[in-house]
Chains A and B, each alone.
Chain A
Amino acid sequence: MSTFLGLPRHRSSTPEEGPLGPVPHADDPLRWGDPFPVAARRALDDAQMRRNLGHATSTIRDKRASVVGEVPDWEALRDTGSAVKGDVMARLPELLAQLEENVTARGGTVHWARDADEANAIVTRIARERAVDEIVKVKSMATQEIGLNEALAEAGIAAVETDLAELIVQLSEDMPSHILVPAIHRNREEIRRLFLARMEGAPDDLGDAPRELAEAARVHLRRKFLSARMAVSGANFGVADSGTLTVVESEGNGRMCLTLPETLVTVMGIEKVVPTFTDLEVFGQLLPRSSTGERMNPYTSLWTGVTPGDGPQDFHLILLDNGRTRALADDVGRAALHCIRCSACLNVCPVYERVGGHAYGSVYPGPIGAVLTPLLTGAGTEDAPHGDANASLPYASTLCGACFDACPVKIDIPSLLVHLRARDVDSRRERTVPTGWDGAMKAASWVMSDGARLGRAEKGTAALRVLAGRKGYVGTLPPPMSAWTASRDLPAPPRQSFRDWWADEHDGNDGDGAAEENA
């Protein structure tokens, strides 16, 4: 990570021109762009993106609701999924050692990477040792998170994304905006234009039907699959008791990468381990219904080390930390590591639906991103740079709770958001001069911890009533309340608060007195 001099870290936030217009540029896949409020404000101006997102998220919400609704034991499955993940975190060192032992026993090689640079260096070294200058990739959040493609490019190795949406993102030099469908912010017409401009062999008369676009990608990638010598994947699950790795996918690009090349390198976050093979009977039900809204995704591949004569004969597993042990050290926040990357929380989030994924400035957007990114990067702790844009992420939510309801492993995202807000506030207590918010909250605490004080403060609202005048409402207020009146009126406060009315009605007899009378 670059030297940090104590200035607010505004990453390379100037969007760059891509084939489909300006795209964000990321130096650090977990920290790019502006703080959330600034980035969100910009995103809200992109009417095309809002339409694309609104359409896509409402489609997937309906599909998910219908396939989840038909499972009578859905809640029991969620309870088990949640508990299995809790158990994994509690026994992480033991399970990782067991996974390593089983993968090694079956002919695989296990590597450990403390951070992105270390993981990228391992992949680069494996490629160089085999004189490979082009690799095919299965869509993977872990390799997005470490910026593997960029690191390989620096080493002169081309990484070809083979998942359709990931290919769209790569061709448009864009950043992903969704965990499952990284190009969710693009519509069919934009994708048609992109393929015509950037994809080798796209037919001149290419239409914008998804079927035609998918066919064009099939033709483009097929030669690469059939000749690839090395592939890189992520893993949805790594089974400790058998050493089995799992990739869940739809298009068959995953199977191509996992099956045809001689060498396969899998980069897996250490939290993706599950204790037993039979745990897949739980996650195999939870994940597809929550992510694509299907009863089952078209293809799930399970492999264990090397199978002589079938698939890659040279298999490497890289176990990646990159902030996960830091997240684990937060005994509330560690629940974010339970995430199985289904993206259901994104699809139901009213904030995500309106601002899109790029506003979160991380490859992990949406509600889970708003907790996972700060936890991985240490926002709100001494590990984070001062003025860290990621510190704004826990505030990027109304705490409406739709994400918690949708989460297949029951991550209480609203509570995690509140916890991380507290972590942010507390870290600033020691490090910076108090802000306006700090002062206001302290004053409000004094007023709101005493009925008499609140009663006196209520009389102070007369000023607002003067401002409202005969209209009966306030339409403009000075900063910071101008943020409210930018789009909402404020009604005039009443002449009499409730407590004053009560006192009048009960003639000085307060409720407590009444209670004693009747006791």
Chain B
Amino acid sequence: MRIALFATCVADAMFPGAPRATVRLLERLGHTVVFPESQACCGQMHVNTGYMDEALPVVRNHVQTFDPVLTGAWDAVVVPSGSCTGSIRHQQAMVARRAGDEDLATRAEAVSARTYELSELLVDVLGVTDVGAYFPHRVTYHPTCHSLRMLRVGDRPEALLRAVEGIDLVDLPQADGCCGFGGTFALKNAPTSSAMLDDKCDAVDSTAADVLVAGDRSCLLHIGGGLSRRGSATTTLHLAEVLASTREHPTPLSDAPRTRTRPVGGSR
């Protein structure tokens, strides 16, 4: 299959490991990955903060960038993020319609129908749950809110993780509770966000996992920031980085963002 990658703005700028792993993983499975370079952002931040007028050009750029999927240039678009996929699927057409651009809305809907979050693409489109990964670490998985409730990815990510060789996958207590990120909520209601984050970090710490895995780098930015602040020994990786890991090319824990417990270049 020919698959276009939407890296997402957060991962592109801050966490390139997630989209790089997505490329590595899909190529290993025999697919061709392309990166349309005019891509930028899905518009979610603007939409969820109420800036619909400002979201419009962002949405238009996204739809134009991925429009070729409609004419068969690619078979699908993959997004290593539940919330960006959710925004593409549930918000972009609304933004266009609100601005009176019915043509853009229709195209946005058509593009979104061919756009998949990574675990959806692997399990539903490519039909694999065992991707041949090897990751000999203790891992716990946080199902991010939008993956869980907007996309209903269900247990696809866990099914993928369970099939990873060498993994020690442990349940995260109160896993379905929000971590408190919520985009600009983390800034506008910082104390409330922090109270939620505290509880999430307690849950993560109780698992004694080496790595917290999720399908959204933005939620991991938040939880990882909290874990680092409290000097937790648990680090964060994107689902793609675990699935891309093999015996030949293992993903080292040092690929995770630096934290207070892990200095530069450090690896446990």
CB distance from A63 to the nearest CB of B (A): 17
Decide yes or no whether A454 CB sits under 8 A from chain B: yes
Q: List 10 A-B contacts (CB under 8 A).
A: A36-B189, A394-B50, A395-B189, A399-B183, A422-B98, A426-B50, A445-B58, A450-B61, A452-B37, A483-B186
Contact for A354 among B35, B46, B98, B195, CB less than 8 A: B195
Decide yes or no whether A453 CB sits under 8 A from chain B: yes
Contact for A480 among B17, B65, B187, B257, CB less than 8 A: B187
| Bitwise interface map of A from 465 to 476 toward B, beta carbon under 8 Å scored 1, else 0 | 000101111010
Pairwise interchain contact B149-A451, C-beta atoms closer than 8 A: no
Considering only CB atoms, which chain B residue lies closest to A496 in the complex? B16
Task: Say whether, besides A421-B49, A454-B9, A494-B14, A400 and B229 are in contact (CB < 8 Å).
Answer: no
Contact for A510 among B12, B17, B35, B226, CB less than 8 A: B35
Stretch in A258-266, A321-329, A436-444 with 4+ CB within 8 Å of B = A436-444
Pairwise interchain contact B37-A37, C-beta atoms closer than 8 A: no
Which residues of the partner chain A approach B189 to less than 8 Å between Cβ atoms? Answer: 36-37, 40, 351, 395-396
| Bitwise interface map of A from 491 to 504 toward B, beta carbon under 8 Å scored 1, else 0 | 11110111101110
Which residues of the partner chain A approach B36 to less than 8 Å between Cβ atoms? Answer: 451, 510-512
Decide yes or no whether B55 CB sits under 8 A from chain A: yes
Decide yes or no whether A519 CB sits under 8 A from chain B: yes
9 tightest Cβ-Cβ pairs between the two chains A and B? A472-B258, A398-B182, A488-B225, A421-B50, A511-B34, A491-B257, A445-B54, A401-B149, A498-B16
Pairwise interchain contact B178-A488, C-beta atoms closer than 8 A: no
Pairwise interchain contact B224-A444, C-beta atoms closer than 8 A: no
Cα separation A165 to B182 with both chains bound (whole Å): 33
Decide yes or no whether A404 CB sits under 8 A from chain B: yes
Q: Which residues of B contact A (CB under 8 A)?
A: 2, 4-5, 7, 9, 11-17, 19-20, 32-41, 43, 45-55, 57-58, 60-61, 65, 68, 73-74, 90-91, 98, 145-146, 148-150, 176-178, 180-198, 221-222, 224-226, 228-229, 257-260, 262-264
Cα separation A493 to B18 with both chains bound (whole Å): 14
CB distance from B251 to the nearest CB of A (A): 15
Please provide the chain A residues from 385 to 399 with a CB less than 8 Å away from any CB of chain B in the complex. Answer: 394-399
Task: Say whether, besides A441-B46, A499-B12, A397 and B182 are in contact (CB < 8 Å).
Answer: yes
Chain A interface, number of residues (Cβ within 8 angstroms): 81
Pairwise interchain contact B188-A395, C-beta atoms closer than 8 A: yes
Pairwise interchain contact B32-A518, C-beta atoms closer than 8 A: yes
| Bitwise interface map of A from 390 to 426 toward B, beta carbon under 8 Å scored 1, else 0 | 0000111111111011000000000100101111111
Pairwise interchain contact B178-A350, C-beta atoms closer than 8 A: yes
Considering only CB atoms, which chain A residue lies closest to B258 in the complex? A472
Contact for B149 among A404, A512, A514, CB less than 8 A: A404
Considering only CB atoms, which chain B residue lies closest to A36 in the complex? B189
Decide yes or no whether A59 CB sits under 8 A from chain B: no
Contact for B187 among A483, A489, A499, CB less than 8 A: A483
Pairwise interchain contact B35-A450, C-beta atoms closer than 8 A: no
Task: Say whether, besides A454-B41, A473-B260, A422 and B50 are in contact (CB < 8 Å).
Answer: yes
